[in-house]
Amino acid sequence: MQLNRHPAGRHFLQIPGPGPVPDRILRAISLPTIDHRGPEFGALGLKVLDGIRQIFQTRHPVVIYPASGTGAWEAALVNTLSPGDAVLMVETGHFATLWKKMAERLGLAPEFLGLPGTEGWRRGVDADSIGQRLRADSGHRIQAVCVVHNETSTGVTSDIAAVRRAIDAAKHPALLMVDTISGLASADYRHDEWGVDVGIGGSQKGLMLPPGISFNALSPKALEASRSAALPKSFWAWDEMVESNRSGYWPYTPNTNLLYGLSESLDMLLAEGLPNVLARHRRWGEGVRAAVRAWGLEIQCAEPACYSPVLTGVVMPDGVDADRVRRIIHERFDLSLGTGLGKLKGRMFRIGHLGDSNDLTLLATLAGCEMGLKLAGVTLAGSGVQAAMDFFASREQADADVKVES
Ligand code: PLP
């Protein structure tokens, strides 16, 4: 490992989060740390708590933890559930699998809905099968349905509104918990409109921040459940957090400098307008997929309706080790791509197209991929870079923009 290596030019960090942090945010984070119990801090706290509610599209409390996304996963479970509770989870990929393992370790009884092999790792959540399972649970043993909105290991985005409809149609009282760690601020997520009870987010994806803060967006029903939930909790407990947050403070030392960064990120995203932010992600996803198709390679997501606007999984032909291709690309072109995770190790790599990016950054990323694939001996059907250039040149940003009312 060459930690002191400083190649000329800038590194291309094209994993699906963390991505490049904009200079504006880096500068904000570098400001002097202030007293987290002093008067200035309260104003910052109130500002970021209000802004993050707009990003989650909720009127209800959002809790901000000085922790990575995994912490916010745990917070969602321990605040709402009791030992031995049944929870229905769906095997969409590696992150859904990790969340289910966490539920087991916490003493919950997760049931994992899935398809054989890696079939479920290519598709969105099947809301009908959730509805069916809930209808069969006439005694209402299942306390929560937990789904991953944007499965970062596969590049598949699930229809959360459909899951809500399925729960309602089954007349089942289970809570709906949604991991939108890699969806927030890059894929459409509407906490209140979709009736999500706990939404889980992270800083290092669409918010363009370094890793280190994460979120729980709550519903009144989730807050109600937290009053009787018996799993042990202290650091993660919502009650003290929500209480302190009312005046813009935290019950313990918050991640002050990352909150400066969050404040800057919120200013940037809200000035651009969330609909525009989402439109540029959708457009980038289309451009990258045009490249993968032109190469003649397979996209990991098998359902076009579920293509992720955040990342694309590129499946390697049989006999090609995706990690060897990634290694060549990293060594030759200083470009980092996401590795295949869990069941997809070595089978595919992931191109992140989120956050602080633009058409030319993505074209350079695709050029690095195309050259690396050729160097690795992969036969390509055509030029993906050309296909993406054609796509980006023919589709102006304005085509994808949704005008924001001023
Ligand atoms: N869930 C999803 C969908 C993720 O993409 C990640 C991380 O990439 C996590 C959970 C875990 O978050 P963290 O690695 O920040 O703890």
* 16 occurs within a structural domain: no
**Would you say the CB of residue 202 lies under 6 angstroms from ligand 1?**
yes
Q: For residues 196 and 194, what is the distance between their CA atoms, to the nearest angstrom?
A: 6
Amino acid present at 384: G
- Residue 48 maps to a domain: yes
Per-residue pLDDT tens over the stretch 159-210: 999 999 999 999 999 999 999 999 999 999 999 999 999 999 999 999 999 9
Domain that holds residue 195: 23-270
Asked if residue 302 and residue 219 are part of one domain, the reply reads no
Number of domains forming the structure of the chain: 2
Q: For 17-38, how does the pLDDT look when each residue is reduced to its tens digit (9 = 90+)?
A: 999 999 999 999 999 999 999 9
- Is the C-beta atom of 69 inside 6 A of ligand 1? yes
CATH code at position 169? 3.40.640.10
Q: Is 74 near ligand 1, meaning CB less than 6 Å away?
A: no
Within 13 Å and on the Cβ side, how many CA atoms surround 3? 0
Q: Which residues pair with 337 in a beta bridge?
A: 14
Distance of CA 38 to the CA centre of its chain: 33
- Judge whether 8 lies within some domain: no
Q: Is residue 7 part of a domain?
A: no
What pLDDT does residue 3 have?
59
What tens digit of pLDDT does each residue of 223-255 get? 999 999 999 999 999 999 999 999 999 999 999
CA 145 distance to own-chain centroid: 18
Nearest CA-CA partner of 355 in 9, 13, 29, 11: 13
Pair (255, 299) in one structural domain: no
Which CATH number fits the domain that encloses residue 369? 3.90.1150.10
Question: Does position 5 have pLDDT exceeding 70, yes or no?
Answer: no
Task: Name which of 296, 295, 132, 269 is nearest 205 in CA terms.
Answer: 269
The answer to the question of residue 17 being in a domain is: no
- Same domain for 29 and 153, yes or no, is yes
Q: For ligand 1, say whether the CB of 215 is within 6 Å of any of its atoms.
A: no
Tell me, yes or no, whether 2 lies in a domain. no
Instruction: Answer yes or no: is the C-beta of 383 below 6 A from any ligand 1 atom.
Output: no
152 Cα to the center of ligand 1, angstroms:
8
Q: Tell me, in angstroms, the distance from the centre of ligand 1 to residue 17's CA.
A: 9
Question: 260-279 pLDDT, tens per residue?
Answer: 999 999 999 999 999 999 99
Specify the pLDDT at position 2: 55
Does 70 sit in the ligand 1 pocket, CB within 6 Å? yes
Same domain (yes/no): 264, 317 = no
Together in a domain, 169 and 194: yes
Cis check: omega of the bond before 18, within 30 degrees of 0: yes
Looking at the structure, do residues 225 and 330 belong to the same domain, yes or no? no
Question: Ligand 1 center to residue 44 CA distance, Å?
Answer: 26
| Closest Cα to atom 13 of ligand 1 | 69
Q: Domain for residue 4, yes or no?
A: no
End position of a domain, from candidates 237, 270, 303: 270
Same domain for 258 and 281, yes or no, is: no
- Residues 362, 398, single domain; the answer is yes
With contact defined as beta carbons under 8 Å apart, do 37 and 360 qualify?
no
* Segment 206-221, tens digit of pLDDT: 999 999 999 999 999 9
Number of the ligand 1 atom closest to the C-alpha atom of 153: 5
Confidence of residue 405 (pLDDT cuts 50, 70, 90): very low
What whole-number percentage of the chain has pLDDT above 70? 96
Same domain, 125 and 84: yes
Q: Which of 369, 387, 371 is nearest to 314 (CA)?
A: 369
Cα separations in angstroms, 307 against 67, 143, 295, 300: 29, 30, 18, 9
Ligand 1 center from residue 96 Cα (angstroms) = 10
Ligand 1, pocket-test mutation among 13, 90, 102, 152, most atoms within 8 A of CB: 152
Ligand 1 centroid – CA 125 distance (Å): 18
Question: Full-prediction pTM beyond 0.85?
Answer: yes
Q: Is 3 a domain residue?
A: no
> What share of the chain has pLDDT > 90, as a percent?
95
Spacing of C-alpha 253 from chain mean position: 25
Of 221, 246, 270, which one is at a domain's C-terminal end?
270
Q: Are residues 235 and 334 in the same domain?
A: no
111 and 212 co-located in one domain: yes
> How many angstroms is it from 354 CA to the middle of ligand 1?
15
Does residue 152 have its Cβ closer than 6 Å to ligand 1? yes
Mean pLDDT, residues 80-104 taken together: 98
Ligand 1 centroid to 204 CA: how many Å?
9
Q: Check whether residue 326 and residue 388 sit in a common domain.
A: yes
Query: At which of 234, 252, 270 does a domain end?
Result: 270
